Amino acid sequence: MYVVCIYHREAACGSSSTLFRQWVMTDDPASQTSDDGPTYVDTPYGMVTAAGRWYHVPEADIRDYAGDVLQYVSLDQLLRWADVWGRSPRTLAAWSLPVFLWLLPAGWAALAALGVFLVWALMSPALTSVVGAKLGTVLDYGIVQALYYVLTLSIFAARDQFWAVGVGLIGFVLLRWGVLQWALRPVLRPAWRRLYPLPVTDQVLRGLIVRVALKHRLALPQVDAITEDILENWGARTEEDTKTDPDP
């Protein structure tokens, strides 16, 4: 749980400035998985990580198809990187919003951050990067982002830029809680299906496996088989969910 403390000044009847403290508490369990705890649960339809993300390929198939890759990077680590990359649109938007607030009026800054989120959400599954995932792991830490916002919003408040403080505070909460991503999912999902042959989570995991293989000059002759299994498990899981859902 993170606490953002924002101090601002308010002049009253010519008297000296007084300090008010506003507390906003945010909690994001999805990005607080412990390195010591289990990273995923294996199921007949694939793996589910502690962050709640589905990867539609069972552990045994990954080890069969990408066993050489797992000699260099563990499956736990690959899934952690994939989860981080899946959250990278919100991470990038969260870090860019204060920058935009420095450069633009508050309303335009919010729109610019929203644009960053949307563009990167659409592009990131095709641009997976091991280095980017490592950097994103640090930038995605809630305490790091909270300290960043404490610093920047405190400066805005000291300069009486209260619109910037309000937009930054709201943006931080919406991004950390995943509200923005949830609200935009109906828009993003059809676009993802047009752009990528696999579900986004699987596209990211497959991309990271390929990147590690390229880095260590490993052959992945069964990469197409991975894709076929993902699609088969995705379809089976979707069909099973349809059967178990009650009639509307």
66: pLDDT strictly greater than 50 = yes
- Which pLDDT score is estimated for 10? 37
What's the whole-number mean pLDDT along residues 154-176? 95
Q: What predicted TM-score, i.e. pTM, was given to this entire model?
A: 0.76
Give the confidence band of 64 by pLDDT, cuts at 50, 70, 90.
Answer: confident
Burial 43-53 (b: 16+ CB within 10 A, else e): eebbbebbbeb
Give which of 16, 39, 61, 11 is closest to 230, Cα–Cα: 61
What's the whole-number mean pLDDT along residues 120-126? 96
Domain boundaries of the chain, sorted by first residue: 2-241
